[in-house]
Structure 1
Amino acid sequence: MSNAWRALSAVAVLGLLAAGCSKQEAAAPKASTDAGWLTGGHDQAQTYHSPLKQIDEANAGRLGYAWQYDLETTHGQEATPVVVDGVMYASAPWGFVHAVDARTGERRWVFDPKVDNSITSKVCCGIVSRGLAFAEGRVFTASIDGRLSALDAKDGKVLWQADTIVDHERGYTVTGSPYVAGDVVVIGNSGGELDARGYITAYKVSTGELAWRFYTVPGSSTGPFEHPELEAAAKTWDPKSRWDVGLGGTVWDGMAYDAKLDLLYVGVGNSALYPRKLRSPNGGDNLYVSSILAIHPKTGRMAWHYQTTPGDQWDYTATQKMILADLKIGDQTRQVLMQAPKNGFFYVLDRATGELLSAKPYVPVNWASGVDEKTGRPMETGLADYSNGPKLVFPSPAGGHNWHPMAFNPETGLVYIPTLEASAVFWVPAEPFVYAKGGANAGAMYAFPAAHAGNWGLESPAAKHLPPLSELGKGQPDTTIRGFLRAWDPVANKVVWEVETSGQWVGQMNAIWNGGGVMTTSGNLVFQGQSTGALHVYRATDGHPLAAIDIGTSIMAAPMTYELDGVQYVSVMAGYGGALGGVHPVGTAAERYGNAGRIVTFKIDGGPVPKPAEKEHVSSVPRPSVERFGSAADIETGNELLKRNCARCHANEGPGAIPDLRWMSAQTHQEFEDIVLKGVRASKGMGSFASLLTPAQAQQIRAAVVDSAWRAYESAQDLPQSAPHAPQTAPHVPATSPELPNSSKTVPGHEPSTGAAH
């Protein structure tokens, strides 16, 4: 298919002409002059920019506490609220919605989606919500189990509800925000690392009637095809592709809408399985994974598509937030779409046609030497192809930019990007891939070269065959893990200024997760929260720091601002988690004060922000509550099962809300099978894994956890490391041992991951 990744169909051209919107006539959605914040990104263009300027560079240092609101959860907060007519609507984990008086923080109503907690066995990367939508007096929200609800904005009552999941036996969940495009509301889903086949679904705003569904990848090479675009896509897949695994392409985050062009822009996620040789053995671009799609919202038909990473095998999603703007490029003002996806290139596209205008790296990249601006294709180097052995890849699967919103200020002309500089080594396990329905099915492993954690930061047997970093890193960029807030000029394609956000974690994983989402205003300001618990304010033109307000709660979400009764407020949803699960690295506010989620709101000359009470900490690694058991083979198998099924939540990196399994009490060990296979703790977020694990496999996981606990304990005590030993079956565990607290000492070592920040 010639130029398939950016072609505009003849049908689409005719549709635009019929609508009276030629390329020259169409205009960008203008930033609202409303004093509220009307979408997750403020406007339909998703700029995360407000024209308000009562708070400016001269008085930003006087920002203080106005009010706070308890979200009654310890899960991560990734959403940005909306404010309409003096009411703030905020989406929270599971799919809760809180309506709050935006002047005082007083609760108006709460919507509880009443989710069956067993869904947590299918959650890739945290029980989170990335936002909600508002239109026609309705609040639209998606619960993690895939139900889309339209709520009456006055009282939160359900006006209609739709189950958006086509197959509940597969690994589908929903963490993304709905988007309104004309008279439809559109929602995607998560699960690309499991066995989801991606799609978006549109429902009538007024009635909830199904309008259309667009699948992002075909279900077979021969059909039947749900819509014509899939027949074209199927030609870019090997007929012997792993159709049974779903192939990925989930739409778990960014969309934007241009009302003048009447086009909905959709970011599509990574392919699955990850490795090309397993997923589509004879290659191909594998449309429409890792792509940007332009969809006619009235019909659900595609106008154009652009694929950022053909044949993706590094989890390079293109689901990151997209921003619509008008830019003067050369002697023309172009209507553009901008995105900084995971693959490390910043894209500027003509949003009417999909034409590539520019694509330049904003972080170190080694998988491609650049993007051919004539064809739109990346020029792969081969340095990152791990088909025949481990390779060091830049950027890592965390991406050069993840879900954290970036912002565009039309007055400075700059895009403010929370960027991640990290590499990872990818490899295909030696064991044959076995499909697990509804389970993790990435088909590849990866590990980060984190500092102070050994050769690869891994104690797992899975990493024992990796070449040393000194070998894989020859001639490659610096592997030191860092995070930055970068101000990017999308016309000159360069960094204008940057602020390092690594904090105390340079070289460690939290260096890339310290900096949260971004908001900018016409007061020449940029706002960004950090996991340290500080809300930072910078001058938008040059990055000069103006304020840092310590709130005592870690921040990941993008802030927002609104004005009521002549007072400008800044507000942010605070709480740590997401893809990090419940791990709270030492030095974060979550580690010091706990992780009770809350909305914190500021105004000029407000007071000091109230902080939660400090947690009590245990400063040493406790002695494991049970003795080692199981053979070396059991423990090795258990480690593999642990990484595939558990590590995406239960990472061994320090204290947190989700338990570090190594420090289970004897009572918990006794109940282990009931917890894992019967879901007796589903109400706490631990659903049943009975469809994925046998009782024998559950015990192998437990044996691996116990062995890991003893290794950590022996290391902390400077004791010789013991080898795994008999007995071959788990011993009886007394039911009277007390629960041991989590350790607050970070034990070096990062388990390899098969998940991503979805």
Structure 2
Amino acid sequence: MLSRLAGLCAGLALCLAPSVQAAIDGAQIAAGQPGVNWLSYGRTYSEQRFSPLEQIDRESVGRLGLAWAMDVPEATSLVSTPLVKDGVIYFSASFSVVYAVDARSGKTLWRFDPQVTAAFRAHNPARQRMYWGMNRGLAMWGDKVFVGTGDGRLIGIDMASGKQVWSTQTTDPETHAQITGAPLAFNGKVLIGFGGADNGPLRGYVTAYDAETGKQAWRFHTVPGNPADGFENQAMAMAAKTWTGEWWKHGGGGTAWNSLTYDPQFNRVYIGTGNGAPWNRKIRSPGGGDNLFLSSIVALDADTGAYAWHYQTTPGEQWDYNSAMDMVLAELTIDGQPRQVLMHAPKNGFFYVLDRATGKLISAEKLGKVTWAERIDLATGRPVEVPGARYESGEALIWPGPPGRHSWHPMSFNPDTGLVYIPTLDIPGYYNDKGIDPLTWQHKRNTYAFGVNVDAGDIPKDAGSSALVAWDPLAQRERWRRPTAGAWPGGTLSTAGGLVFQGQADGHLVAFDAATGETRWQFQAQRGISAPPISYSVDGRQYVAVLVGWGGGGPLVGGSLFAQHGWSFRDGGRRLLTFALDAKGELPDTPHTPVVPLDRADLQLDAASVARGEALYATTCQTCHGHDAISGGGAPDLRASAMALYPQSLSAVVRDGALQAKGMPQFDELGDAELEAIYQYLRDRARAKQPSPPKLIAPEH
């Protein structure tokens, strides 16, 4: 643990614990002022991620220094938004572990571990194969903090003591459903969804629970089930008319794995839904159709879960263009009239402004290079698609790819400038379903379930880029753009001090001028940053805090595109950093271990076995250890792993499950020949002077 730099004694830190007993309600979360606390994922229900604090501004930001740093050495990645209440920071780390920390000094007050890997092993160990360990945040209500777990539980934790108050299993533990997103608390309820539709049959839904007891209040499915079982409500009956074939056998998808927003003005919740399962619509809905409510915003009554309206951003989705990205609420003056709007930048590359009273589309324009559709027809609200984009001939190369023009990294809205600050990606997608028969295709258990071909080729480092874009939602055009390092930028925070804070893939935390995009300040955190910053104040002093932990799908699927920054999984640097004006803390150097592939001079490789191993690696190992066996830093690089240097040690880990407790799943069904083929492929990649050519770019959940 790093030494604490704020200078307050441990006794004072511990004395803070009783203060968290003050009950949190919706009025506190909805309040826009004074910005002392950060009580919800987007600070307030608006999800604007705007801090009204202005002590740190354009002129003073040059004096910003490190106040304190807290190591989280057990974490594999840190991507969450911390919450702050009365001088205490709460955040979730890898495997849904929750911390409470003194906001002045960084002293740990308590730690809660829900034992996620043990839960996987107890119920269905194979589910762990598709779980990346990440968690994006928490919710608060009353005297509790809430976390969703990778194995599908929602847990209420006492804020003062860190003790579990209640726990409920919100997903079927026999499925591969998993929770990585933050819950949403409102009206004495806690709402949660889940993800996992990329990995097999899942039917999406969200569930609201009583915040005091954990008892279910209501549930809303996001895609229809088997008509023979009857429909839960009229919304499902309506949605079923937009599906064909026997879609329910494939689950359908539409999981709400990230974005949930509450609107106090209309007493509604907005659900951002995910992609189809499988991606390929030719399989799940062979007669076509819009496939509601995939890739949609669905508005529900907050008290009952009754359907109010929906808007579908990508009808008949088949590119992983889900709409589980932020939904920001604001009042904008349009044609001289104040309008209550919802702003949304899903993966498909368009920026949408909707009237949130009705769900009617106001405007939509391209955020950057988008080739799958020409435009959005404002009369119908539907995209005007480009022929061939649906890989009708068997393949298509289009922009954006599965990571999207904007992924889960949160955008922010500054009401002073009127601009939205969006972390954007520029990565193409290659889709190929040649040789796949939609009538006979079947899910392969515990692996990708895309319905398109997946190969193990590399993603070269020049295959994609990223930028911070300041977007004018009224004019629907870009005001300024600043290129950011690599292709995996962090989320953003905007402030009344005229600044935009963003962490970047190369380890820099940067403060930009919100009006011009000029760089005003930066700090090297010594590891890539994926999480969004927050701001709070204690005793009249403003702080900026961010979790440093290079995580998410990019660093896991790896390849040269994400490995270019040199972050090794085995190195440290996973920390909570907090900054204040005139603070003088120094971050100790974090050792960086270069990835050096290992080899055995005595080993003769068999070309046929290597080729078979490439296919097995793509469906078994690639989701965590990277394209072409090149890790982006989210998991060990197997080319340089001593455990992968000999078949016996590789078998102990992969087939016998020696590292299950640390998050490495067991693949006990692999035969000797299959394991040998994977081994041969890894040794071939360790010897390779050049990576394999690019093939398919994998998704991010």
TM-score normalised by structure 2 residue count: 0.89
Q: Measure, in 2, the Cα distance between the counterparts of 1:667 and 1:709.
A: 8
Change (3 A) 1:163 1:754: farther
1:649 is paired with a residue whose SS is: helix
1:244 is paired with a residue whose SS is: helix
Q: 1:639 aligns with which of 602, 614, 621?
A: 614
Question: For the Cα contact (< 8 Å) 1:440–1:754, is it kept in 2?
Answer: no
Could you tell me which amino acid in structure 2 is paired with residue 482 of structure 1? S
- Do residues 550 (structure 1) and 524 (structure 2) align? yes
2:308 is paired with a residue whose SS is: strand
Q: 2:467 aligns with which of 473, 484, 502?
A: 484
Partner of 1:128: 134
Partner of 1:83: 84
Q: 2:545 aligns with which of 571, 577, 580?
A: 571
Deviation string 1:272-312 (CA, Å, 9 cap, x unpaired) is 11111112111000111100011112111111111100110
Q: 1:627 aligns with which of 603, 607, 615?
A: 603
Q: 1:434 aligns with which of 430, 438, 442?
A: 442
Deviation string 1:680-713 (CA, Å, 9 cap, x unpaired) is 21012111234xx4425xx325414423532551
Change (3 A) 1:221 1:595: farther
Q: Structure 1 stretch 310-319 or stretch 119-128: which is displaced more? A: 119-128
- Report how far residue 225 of structure 1 moved: 1.9
Partner of 2:505: 531
- Report how far residue 339 of structure 1 moved: 0.7
Question: For the Cα contact (< 8 Å) 2:75–2:93, is it kept in 1?
Answer: no
Change (3 A) 1:171 1:613: same
Partner of 1:140: 146
- Report how far residue 657 of structure 1 moved: 5.7
Could you tell me which amino acid in structure 2 is paired with residue 231 of structure 1? A
Could you tell me which amino acid in structure 2 is paired with residue 202 of structure 1? A
Q: Measure, in 2, the Cα distance between the counterparts of 1:305 and 1:328.
A: 23
Q: Measure, in 2, the Cα distance between the counterparts of 1:231 and 1:657.
A: 42
| Aligned residue runs from structure 1 range 390-539, under 5 A | 390-432=395-437, 433-445=441-453, 481-501=464-484, 503=485, 511-513=486-488, 515-539=489-513
- Report how far residue 438 of structure 1 moved: 4.1
Percent same amino acid among aligned pairs?
39
Q: Measure, in 2, the Cα distance between the counterparts of 1:84 and 1:589.
A: 36
TM-score normalised by structure 1 residue count: 0.82
Question: For the Cα contact (< 8 Å) 1:516–1:528, is it kept in 2?
Answer: yes
- Report how far residue 625 of structure 1 moved: 7.2
Could you tell me which amino acid in structure 1 is paired with residue 263 of structure 2? D
Q: Measure, in 1, the Cα distance between the counterparts of 2:645 and 2:576.
A: 36
Question: For the Cα contact (< 8 Å) 2:429–2:696, is it kept in 1?
Answer: no
Deviation string 1:649-669 (CA, Å, 9 cap, x unpaired) is 011224736223334546752
Q: Measure, in 1, the Cα distance between the counterparts of 2:566 and 2:640.
A: 22
Could you tell me which amino acid in structure 2 is paired with residue 681 of structure 1? L
Q: 2:219 aligns with which of 206, 213, 216?
A: 213
2:622 is paired with a residue whose SS is: coil
1:391 is paired with a residue whose SS is: strand
How many pairs align? 658
Q: Measure, in 1, the Cα distance between the counterparts of 2:193 and 2:501.
A: 28
Deviation string 1:102-140 (CA, Å, 9 cap, x unpaired) is 111111100010112545754546211110001111101
Question: For the Cα contact (< 8 Å) 1:624–1:662, is it kept in 2?
Answer: no
Question: For the Cα contact (< 8 Å) 1:406–1:415, is it kept in 2?
Answer: yes
- Report how far residue 77 of structure 1 moved: 1.2
Question: For the Cα contact (< 8 Å) 1:653–1:750, is it kept in 2?
Answer: no
Change (3 A) 1:281 1:592: closer
Q: Measure, in 1, the Cα distance between the counterparts of 2:514 and 2:403.
A: 26
Question: For the Cα contact (< 8 Å) 2:568–2:636, is it kept in 1?
Answer: no
Could you tell me which amino acid in structure 2 is paired with residue 57 of structure 1? R
- Report how far residue 562 of structure 1 moved: 0.5
1:516 is paired with a residue whose SS is: coil
- Do residues 681 (structure 1) and 686 (structure 2) align? no
Question: For the Cα contact (< 8 Å) 1:146–1:172, is it kept in 2?
Answer: yes
| Aligned residue runs from structure 1 range 14-413, under 5 A | 31-115=32-116, 116=118, 118=121, 121-122=127-128, 124=130, 126-165=132-171, 167-195=172-200, 196-241=202-247, 243-413=248-418
- Do residues 748 (structure 1) and 691 (structure 2) align? yes
Could you tell me which amino acid in structure 1 is paired with residue 378 of structure 2? E
Could you tell me which amino acid in structure 2 is paired with residue 644 of structure 1? T
Question: For the Cα contact (< 8 Å) 2:455–2:618, is it kept in 1?
Answer: no
Question: For the Cα contact (< 8 Å) 1:624–1:663, is it kept in 2?
Answer: no
Question: For the Cα contact (< 8 Å) 1:575–1:597, is it kept in 2?
Answer: yes
Could you tell me which amino acid in structure 2 is paired with residue 700 of structure 1? E
RMSD: 2.5
Q: Which runs of 4+ in 1 moved over 4 A?
A: 117-125, 446-453, 581-587, 628-631, 750-755
Question: For the Cα contact (< 8 Å) 1:55–1:523, is it kept in 2?
Answer: yes
Deviation string 1:457-497 (CA, Å, 9 cap, x unpaired) is xxxxxxxxxxxxxxxxxxxxxx9622100000000000000
Deviation string 1:195-228 (CA, Å, 9 cap, x unpaired) is 2221111101111111111111122244322333
1:400 is paired with a residue whose SS is: coil
Change (3 A) 1:191 1:750: farther
Q: Measure, in 2, the Cα distance between the counterparts of 1:711 and 1:380.
A: 39
Could you tell me which amino acid in structure 1 is paired with residue 452 of structure 2? A
Change (3 A) 1:448 1:352: farther
Change (3 A) 1:220 1:754: farther
Q: Structure 1 stretch 669-678 or stretch 680-689: which is displaced more? A: 669-678
Change (3 A) 1:97 1:451: closer
Could you tell me which amino acid in structure 1 is paired with residue 650 of structure 2? F
Could you tell me which amino acid in structure 1 is paired with residue 665 of structure 2? G
- Report how far residue 631 of structure 1 moved: 6.4
